[in-house]
Amino acid sequence: MIIEFINYTINGALLGLLYSLVAMGFVVIYRASKVFNMAIGEMIVLGAFLLWWAIQSRGMHPVLGIAVALGISVLIGLAIERLLFRRLIGESVFSMIMVTIGLLILMRGLVLVIWGPQERQFPAIFPLAPIILGEMIIPRSLAIGGLIAVLAAVALHWFFNRSRTGLAMSAVAEDHQIALAMGISVRRSIAFAWALGGVLSVITSMVYLSGKSLTVLSSEIGFAALPVALLAGLESIGGLLLAGIIVGVVQGLTAAYIDPLIGGNAAAVVPYIFMLVVLVVRPTGMFGWKRIERV
């Protein structure tokens, strides 16, 4: 029983780190533009289809296929900023969120038009054999993904808090007009954020789908990671790791011990309930920035 509990806990924590990696796509774009990107799941699926097209359909070497998919995703991110969000600089946050919902529908439609609704086998980027430690079995892709999530969080934390470009992006998120007055290029900062979001989507798709089936419905991972982003706070990179582990462990233990008792799928609902409870107590999330406004 103890070994089973430890196994469920470790696998839940690794799944939570995958959610953290997905949630970084929310935070990167939000910290540069104050836009909550509802289309993050579709960006991941698009990145996955680009990888499938390059490696499986065109027969490219995996390293070359990954490079091609990353390059195309960066161009798509830049195109999204140029065609949609550049025209909305200075507009309300609500307007930008509505545009991301439209982007979600558009990207899902484009994937269906280009590749169709049929299921495809995603290339095995990482070895499929699990890691076996005694009686514990750990999916290798999740273990590698957990390491990637930690490294990405460290890199992004340094980027936003130490580099000039990252600090400029944070200033843009606070107020477009003030950032312009300080000589910061709002367009360049937001474009960079969307390009970085494209890179993260490809990396996440490799961890999430390596050796698995790929369909347009794989985009549901975006909404599964939503509790992690909101729990951590939309400005916190490091907080995503802790929030992800909490959500993943709670979900894993619920699936292992509660779902068999009730004959339902409580594991899919519990993270959202947990998120709502935390947000009632602390609306900015566990690590979100508190703001004091003078009126």
* SS3 at position 270: helix
Percentage above 70 pLDDT, the chain = 94
pLDDT digits over 192-233, tens only? 889 999 999 999 999 999 989 999 989 989 888 888 888 888
Q: Which amino acid is at 270?
A: V
Q: What are the residue ranges spanned by the domains of the chain?
A: 2-218
**Nearest-CA neighbor of 221 among 53, 52, 25, 86?**
25
pLDDT at 176: 66
Predicted confidence (pLDDT) per residue in 156-189, tens digit: 989 888 888 888 877 777 666 777 777 777 778 8
Task: Work out the angle at residue 203's Cα, subtended by the Cα atoms of residues 192 and 45, and round it to the nearest 5 degrees.
Answer: 90
The answer to whether the beta carbons of residues 81 and 15 sit under 8 Å apart is: no
pLDDT at 292: 42
Tell me if 84 sits within 8 A of 99, measured CB to CB. Answer: yes
Q: Which helix (H) or strand (E) holds 121?
A: strand 120-121
Q: What is the DSSP string of 21-83?
A: HHHHHHHHHHHHHS---TTHHHHHHHHHHHHHIIIIIS---HHHHHHHHHHHHHHHHHHHIII
What pLDDT is recorded for position 113? Answer: 93
Q: The whole model's pTM is what?
A: 0.89
Of the pLDDT bands very low, low, confident and very high (cuts 50, 70, 90), residue 289 is low
Q: Which region holds residue 120: left if phi is over 0, alpha if psi is between -120 and 50, else beta?
A: beta
